[in-house]
Structure 1
């Protein structure tokens, strides 16, 4: 395993900074709308990344973490009239990733985005993105017509039935992100199928393939558990021993299911050093990257928090490998 990033470099200096930190692997989308990501566009993008001394490990399929009413391929989630055309476009994109030497693609199957309550104040006055169910509006408007849980499973199964064989043939790993965070069944009209360990297991076992797995977020998994630190190791082992971990979002929380704040990796309730030892134990071999970070008082607040996280991850990987 090795350090990665998904933070988009703003200019050449950011690429240079990343390589100086020892970050050489990146998940980064090509410029422009996804419908313009032809083979030639992917190859140009790969070469541009390489010109800065980095390796393009992954891109995002046009199924991001936003609510479905803002998603570029909403008909896949809504079983709308353009569903098959959108799936065909994604299948072509997966095949072009293989031709361009891009080994993986991440995605979400998300209807309500990433709900949050107001920020909490953390260490030294940092502003912490947070979710406390008792501070949320339980009657918040849904972004689509209400859906039964099994209707969502049917749509996920339909998507996987079409894309997993293509990814398997192309040898491109598909990494789905769990739902962030757990919400009560029926909140905003849906029950989140990837908001529990059992749901995530069912998902990766649907249309089994070594190229169908998870963009596994430690923070999101912790948000879905009653006792995150006590439960995390065995969950990682379950997915890791089955070869279902294709990317790691390395972030920590204070709290648990129904109430938490996102913090820097050394400041939360999950022992992140132990997490990396378990990942080493199960033979995990891909990127470990920062994800959400607190708002830090700095000239470049997000950049400062990410820099801290890269350093922590670098040291933690050395520790996990016994260096």
Structure 2
């Protein structure tokens, strides 16, 4: 296990800062021709990252967490007429990752984005992302996806997995899927989000079962699925970790639980992150541990400072875990 980051470098100094902070492993994306990245693009990105003494561990496939209305490849999840061509483009990108020496890619299978209600004040007046079901428009109209049943959602996911997982295996590229964030009741905005429950995630990793098919395990998002995250999270980690289905770890904490929570810094939420880290070690997790969402704080570089706090917190937990 080692600390990583998925922040996009704003300038070369960001690469230098990560190196100076001891962050050696990163997830980055090339900013050229989104969705049609060439092998040369990926090689150039890897070479740039390595020039700062860093390791390009992972990229994000052009299957983001944003709503399907803004997706690069919408037909994959909409079962549209261009679905097969768009899946072929993803397969080519996986092949290019392997050729460029990038061992893993993370992705989302998201239709309605990441629903949130207004930010709430947190520690010291920070702004923390929140979700309160009783503050949402529970009868919100469906979007581009229309009304999508659970069964149809699974069929579309399986259609995708059936075609990409063999490519990932033959190229030895781990594919890490992020859960649906947050859990929402069936039919919200017309969609039943099947990757928004622990049981759904279990079903997902057992579909087209393969050593290169697993999760970008977001502890914050999984906590959002639980009634009592502090009491329940360790068993969930053990289930997926003992089956080698965790390929990347978003080390994020929340206060609250299913349908009512606020995001926090890792040290102040309801889940015991030190205890969680012991479980990841127990099950043999061996990849990046990275911050995901962070509260919005004051100052000249709110994002950089908030993430730096999370890197240091995680590095200290790891050092203590491996020393005592």
TM-score, normalized by length of structure 2?
Answer: 0.98
Structure 1: distance between partners of 2:60 and 2:81: 23
Could you say what secondary structure the match of 1:238 adopts? helix
1:3-52 deviation digits (Å, cap 9, x = unpaired): 00000111111111111111011110112123441111111110011111
Does structure 1 residue 295 correspond to structure 2 residue 306?
Answer: no
Q: Secondary structure at the match of 1:187?
A: coil
Aligned to 1:21: 21
Runs of 4+ in structure 1 deviating by more than 6 angstroms, as ranges, are none
Q: Deviations over 1:204-239 (max 9, x none)?
A: 000000000000001000001001011111110100
| Stretch deviating more after TM superposition (53-62 or 35-44) | 35-44
**Secondary structure in structure 1 of the residue aligned to 2:142:** coil
Q: Give matches, 1:5-84, under 5 Å.
A: 5-84=5-84
Shift of 1:69: 1.0
Partner of 1:199: 200
- Larger displacement relative to structure 2 (210-219 or 25-34): 25-34
- Unaligned stretches of 5+ in structure 1? none
- Structure 1 contact 293–305 (Cα < 8 Å) conserved: yes
How many residues of Structure 1 are paired with residues of Structure 2 in the alignment?
323
Compare 296-305 and 32-41 and name the one that shifted more.
32-41
Query: Is residue 242–residue 283 contact of structure 2 (8 Å, CA) maintained in 1?
Result: yes
Q: Provide the C-alpha distance between the structure 1 equivalents of 2:135 and 2:317, rounded to a whole number of angstroms.
A: 35
Counterpart for residue 171 of structure 2: 170
The answer to whether the 8 A contact 2:104-2:174 is kept is yes
Distance in 2 of aligned mates of 1:70 and 1:146: 18
The answer for the alignment partner of 1:109 in structure 2 is 109
2: CA distance, partners of 1:146 / 1:246: 32
Partner of residue 278, structure 1: 279
CA distance in 1, matches of 2:141, 2:24: 42
Moved more, 14-23 or 196-205: 14-23
Q: Distance in 2 between matches of 1:283 and 1:46?
A: 27
Displacement after TM superposition at 1:141 (Å): 2.7
CA contact (8 A) 1:273 1:319 kept: no
Q: Give secondary structure in 2 for the equivalent of 1:188.
A: coil
Structure 2 spans left out of the alignment, 5+ residues: none
What is the rounded CA distance, in whole Å, between the counterparts of 1:35 and 1:152 in structure 2?
Answer: 23
Residues 134-283 of structure 1: pairs in structure 2 closer than 5 A? 134-144=134-144, 145-283=146-284
CA distance in 1, matches of 2:241, 2:90: 26
The question of 1:313 aligning with 2:321 is answered no
Length-normalised TM-score, structure 1: 0.98
SS at the partner of 2:196? Answer: coil
Question: Cα distance, 1:166 vs. partner?
Answer: 0.6
Task: Quote the Cα distance in structure 2 between the aligned partners of 1:196 and 1:148.
Answer: 15
Matched-pair contact (CA < 8 Å) for 1:147–1:189: yes
Alignment partners' CA distance in 1, 2:142 and 2:200: 21
Once superposed, what is the RMSD of the aligned Cα atoms?
Answer: 0.9
Residue 321 of structure 1, CA deviation: 2.0
Aligned-partner Cα distance in 2 for 1:265–1:290: 9
CA contact (8 A) 1:114 1:180 kept: yes
Contact 1:5 1:289 in 2 (8 A): yes
Query: Residue by residue, what CA displacement relative to the aligned partner does 1:126-151 show, whole Å, maximum 9, x if unpaired?
Result: 11100000011112232221111100
Mapped partners of 2:271, 2:35: distance in 1: 40
Conservation of the 8 A alpha-carbon contact between 2:35 and 2:62: no
Q: In 1, distance between residues paired with 2:88 and 2:36?
A: 14
Aligned mates of 2:295, 2:199 — CA distance in 1: 29
